[in-house]
Amino acid sequence: MAKKMHDTPNLDQLESGPWPSFVTGLKELAKDKDYVVDLLGQLETSYRTKKGYWKGGTVGVFGYGGGIIPRFTELKSEDGKPVYPDCAEFHTLRVMPPAGMHYDTNTLREFCDIWEKHGSGLIAFHGQSGDIMFQGATTDNVQKAFDEINEMGFDLGGAGPAVRTSMSCVGAARCEQSCYDEAKAHRAVLNTFLDDMHRPSLPYKFKFKFSGCPNDCMNSVQRADMAVIGTWRDNIRTDEAMAKQWFAKHGMDELVNDVVARCPTKTFQLKQIKNVKTGPSISSVAINDTHAIEIDNHDCVRCMHCINVMTGALAPGKDKGASVLVGGKSTLKIGGLMGTVIIPFMKLETDEDVQKLVDLGQRTIDFFAENALEHERTGEMIERIGLINFLEGVEVDVDPNMVSTPRTNPYVRTDGWDEEVDKINAKKQAA
Partner 1 sequence: MNQAVQEKPAAKRKPKETGVPDNKKYLHPLMAKNYGDWKYHDRPRPGVLHHVAHSGDQIWTVRAGTQRQMDVGTIRLLCDIADKYAEGHVRFTIRSNIEYMVSKAEKVAPLIAELEKHGFPVGGTGNSISMISHTQGWLHCDIPATDASGVVKALMDDLIVEFRREEMPNRVHLSTSCCEINCGGQADLAIIVQHTKPPVINHDLVANVCERPTVVARCPVAAIRPAMVNGKPSLEIDETKCMCCGACYPPCPPMQINDPEFSKLAIWVGGKNSNARGKPTFMKMVASGLPNNPPRWPEISVVVKRILNVYKDDARPWERMADWIDRIGWPRFFEKTELPFTKYLIDDWRGSRSTFNASTHIRF
Per CB under 8 A, the list member of 43, 226, 255, 372 interacting with partner 1 is 43
Query: CB count, 10 Å around CB of 426?
Result: 10
Cβ contact 321:181 at 8 Å: no
CB-nearer residue toward partner 1: 333 or 423? 333
Q: How far is the CB of 288 from partner 1 (least distance, A)?
A: 20
The reply to whether 336 sits near partner 1 by the rule CB under 8 A is: yes
Least distance (Å) between residue 282 CB and partner 1: 22
Nearest residue (CB) to partner 1, 96 versus 360: 96
Strands 72-73 vs 54-55: parallel, antiparallel or unpaired:
antiparallel
User: How many Å apart are CA 368 and CA 210, to the nearest integer?
Assistant: 20
Distance CA 53, CA 75 (A): 6
- The residue within the footprint of partner 1, chosen from 37, 159, 202, 218 (CB under 8 A), is 218
Nearer to partner 1, 32 or 397 (CB): 32
- Least spacing, CB of residue 247 vs partner 1, in Å: 15
Instruction: Choose between 221 and 324: whose C-beta lies nearer to partner 1.
Output: 221
Angle between helical axes of 139-151 and 105-118 (0-180°, round to 10): 160
Binding mask 79-98 for partner 1 (x = CB under 8 A): ----------xx-x---xxx
3-class SS of residue 353 = helix
Name which of residues 109 to 168 contact partner 1 (CB under 8 A). 109, 111-112, 115-116, 121-126, 128, 135-136, 139-140, 142-143, 146-147, 150-151, 153-156, 166-167
Give the footprint of partner 1 on residues 295-324 (CB under 8 A): 301-305, 308-309, 311-312, 315
Asked if 8 and 39 touch (Cβ cutoff 8 Å), the reply is: no
Which parts of 362-381 interact with partner 1 (CB under 8 A)?
373-375
Position among 34, 234, 258, 319 found at the interface with partner 1 (CB under 8 A)? 258
Interface with partner 1 (CB under 8 A), residue total: 137
Locate all alpha helices (DSSP H) within 210-341, ordered by sequence. Answer: 220-223, 240-254, 305-309
Site for partner 1 in 162-201 (CB under 8 A): 166-167, 169-170, 172-176, 178, 181, 183, 186-187, 190-191, 194, 198
Q: Is 411 in the site for partner 1 (CB under 8 A)?
A: no
Instruction: Provide, rounded to whole angstroms, the least separation between the CB of residue 396 and partner 1.
Output: 21
Indicate the residue among 271 and 305 with the shorter CB distance to partner 1.
Answer: 305
Region near partner 1 per CB under 8 A, out of 289-297, 325-333, 360-368, 405-413: 325-333
Read off φ and ψ for residue 256, nearest 5 degrees.
Answer: -75, -50
191 vs 425 by CB, closer to partner 1? 191
Q: Are 189 and 351 in contact (CB under 8 A)?
A: no
Contact 297, 279 (CB under 8 A): no
Q: Which of 5, 248, 332, 421 binds partner 1 (CB under 8 A)?
A: 332
DSSP E strands: which ranges in 159-278? 167-168, 208-211, 226-232, 237-238, 268-272
Query: Does the protein bind partner 1 through residue 215 (CB under 8 A)?
Result: yes
Q: Which stretch binds partner 1 (CB under 8 A): 101-109, 277-285, 356-364, 412-420?
A: 101-109
b/e map of 67-95 (b: 16 or more CB within 10 Å)?
bbbbbbbebeeeeeebbbebbbbbbbbbb
The residue (of 108 and 421) whose beta carbon lies closer to partner 1 is: 108
Annotate 376-416 with DSSP letters as a single string.
Answer: --HHHHHHHH-HHHHHHHTT----GGG-SSS-SS--S--TT
Find the binding residues for partner 1 in span 6-35 (CB under 8 A).
Answer: 10-11, 13-14, 16-23, 25-26, 28-29
Rounded least distance, CB 242 to partner 1, Å: 7
Per-position x/- string for 53-82, each x denoting binding to partner 1 as judged by CB under 8 A, each - no binding: xxxxxxxxxxxx----xxxx----------
- Integer angstrom CA distances of residue 387 from 17, 64, 202, 396, 410: 51, 34, 20, 11, 17
Return the SS3 of 333.
coil
